[in-house]
Structure 1
């Protein structure tokens, strides 16, 4: 079964307020067996450009687990904090 990955680019506008999201997200990820592979960083484009100031990659056992985590009530309860304090793009990727 292929792994599932949550990929997100995040431009944080209000670091202090975003901290409430950042500190609460880990337990929701762990509940669904997710593992952070990349959390933050400073992307340096080597082709194209326009990357956000943070990149997040979370690995799950399957694409279905990504969606189960993303749609769970615990995670959805903190999504508004992220939306209010950052501009984001996100995708579910299917691994090989």
Structure 2
């Protein structure tokens, strides 16, 4: 996953990810990843704001199959989560199944 960090200043931190699912390839281990990642995120203080595949695109160029928004109190907690051994253990299930793009926005 490519992560782009945008720092705007402020208190809350948001992890926003767009997931692209190849219809021919299918979801692979992605559904298992979805089930396993939630308790890890919550253990590190993340709160899901949006986690859905019910998306209405407003243009032709951006058509993700799934969108995730997670809120954190600090960027440090977010970093600890995604650098943790628990997360690293399951990350390959996402990486091998779908294409995703993510940003971290502070503000």
Same fold (TM over 0.5): yes
2:58 aligned residue (43, 46, 54): 46
Give the match's secondary structure for 1:8. Answer: strand
Distance 1:92 1:79 in 2: 17
Distance 1:73 1:83 in 2: 16
Give the match's secondary structure for 2:29. Answer: helix
2:12 matched to 1:11? no
Mapped contact 1:5–1:60 kept (Cα < 8 A): yes
Q: Which has the higher helix share?
A: 1
Alignment of 1:63-74 (within 5 A): 63-74=75-86
1:57-86 per-residue CA deviation (whole Å, 9 max, x = no partner) reads 001111221111111111111111001110
1:7-26 per-residue CA deviation (whole Å, 9 max, x = no partner) reads 10012343352111011001
Change (3 A) 1:48 1:94: farther
1:41 CA drift (Å): 3.2
Give the match's secondary structure for 1:85. Answer: coil
2:105 matched to 1:93? yes
The gaps in structure 1 that reach 5 residues or longer are none
Distance 1:12 1:81 in 2: 13
Q: How many residues align?
A: 95
**Structure 1 runs (4+) greater than 6 angstroms displaced:** none
